[in-house]
Amino acid sequence: MNDTQDAFFDLAVSCGALRFGAFTLKSGRQSPYFFNAAAFASGRALTELGRLYARAVETKGLPYDVIFGPAYKGIPLAVALALGLALEYGRDTPYCFNRKEAKDHGEGGITVGAPLRGRVLVIDDVISAGTSIAESARIIADANATLAGVVIALDREERGSGTQSAASEVAARHQVPIISLGRLSGLLAYLGRREDLGQYRKAVADYRAQYGTGDVD
């Protein structure tokens, strides 16, 4: 049992960020579950989520200097991780995020917060087509910094454009590790332990059988 993963699923379910039923995804796939990080919409929820992100990152021992959250969902997540690191580990880690459009007055520029320097950890909710990560990697490279890794909330472990998962494709494309709080394989085990949610396990298992991959850590 992965305590961090189960704590993440507990939090996501209690906040309504993880729901079960019938959902049409952007890809057109019909999914028996839906994850929406925007539902972590309170101080308590973001604080707990930040602690879990911090725990996952620290467990991997990945070296990095700055946290970067791609607009828009990545912005509160970057703040949450920075707070989680401070609260859990006493680490005062700088963070920044990008603007959708460059500012041409005041301090100007395309990023807000700490300067993009050294090794940069990108934080997001999920990886779908990898477009957000590719844009983040470009912004980081333009600042003469280095993409150190990516941390996401949920790895759906679904096939991307090929036989690998979207997360695995991004990891291979950018040659960086992908850290996740929860994975679809872990969700199946979690549903098996939750009597109140057990009725959804078969549908999730069937979905994984249809769209999942054989990717392993």
How wide is the angle at C-alpha 205 spanned by C-alphas 203 and 209, nearest 5°? 115
Is residue 68 within 8 Å of 78, Cβ to Cβ? yes
Q: Would you give the DSSP letter of residue 25?
A: -
**Is the bond into 53 cis (omega within 30 degrees of 0)?**
no
Task: For residue 26, indicate whether it is catalytic.
Answer: no
* DSSP per-residue letters across 97-150: EEEEEEE-STT-EEEEES---SEEEEEES--SSSHHHHHHHHHHHHTT-EEEEE
What 3-state DSSP class applies to 24? strand
Say which of 73, 100, 103, 174 is annotated catalytic. 103
Say which of 26, 73, 100, 105 is annotated catalytic. 105
Q: Percentages helix, strand, coil for the chain, rounded to the nearest 5?
A: 45, 25, 30
Q: Which residues contact 194 (CB under 8 A, 6 or more apart)?
A: none
Task: For residue 174, indicate whether it is catalytic.
Answer: no
* Torsion region of 106: left, alpha or beta (phi above 0 gives left; psi -120 to 50 gives alpha): left
The catalytic residue positions are 103, 105
